[in-house]
Amino acid sequence: MKNKLTRTGFVAWLKSKHPRTRVGQSLAGLHACPLARFTGWTIGTTVYWIDAAKGSGSTLPKWARDFVKAVDAVQGGKSPQITASKALALLGE
């Protein structure tokens, strides 16, 4: 049976990385999202997010939707790199 997406599991995965390890990119598409990378490696499927403002969305838990929004709000360059420490900061850890 596959693991379930949990905030605790995602935080533990991020904390297992060196703080400067790049875990994803902002605004770089589905497979560059830190949460999608986590679920691809640990759950075996890639989560997705569709803009709720356009009338569609995913079944992600609220903490995950908030994280995706925070990642996509990161500025700098075309697709800023998200490190493990930055991801943890976006989660308030």
- pLDDT (tens digit per residue) in 57-91: 556 788 888 888 888 888 766 668 889 999 999 99
Q: How many CB atoms sit inside 10 A of residue 29's CB?
A: 9
Under 8 Å between Cβ of 14 and 87: yes
Query: Could you read off the pLDDT of 1-41 as tens digits, one per residue?
Result: 345 778 998 899 999 999 999 888 877 666 677 777 777 66
What confidence category does residue 55 fall into, taking pLDDT thresholds of 50, 70 and 90? very low
Q: At what angle do helices 7-15 and 34-42 cross, to 10 degrees?
A: 100
Q: How far apart are CA 34 and CA 56, in angstroms?
A: 21
pLDDT of residue 20: 95
- The answer to pTM > 0.85 is no
pLDDT of residue 84: 94
Q: Are 81 and 25 in contact (CB under 8 A)?
A: yes
Residue type at 9? G
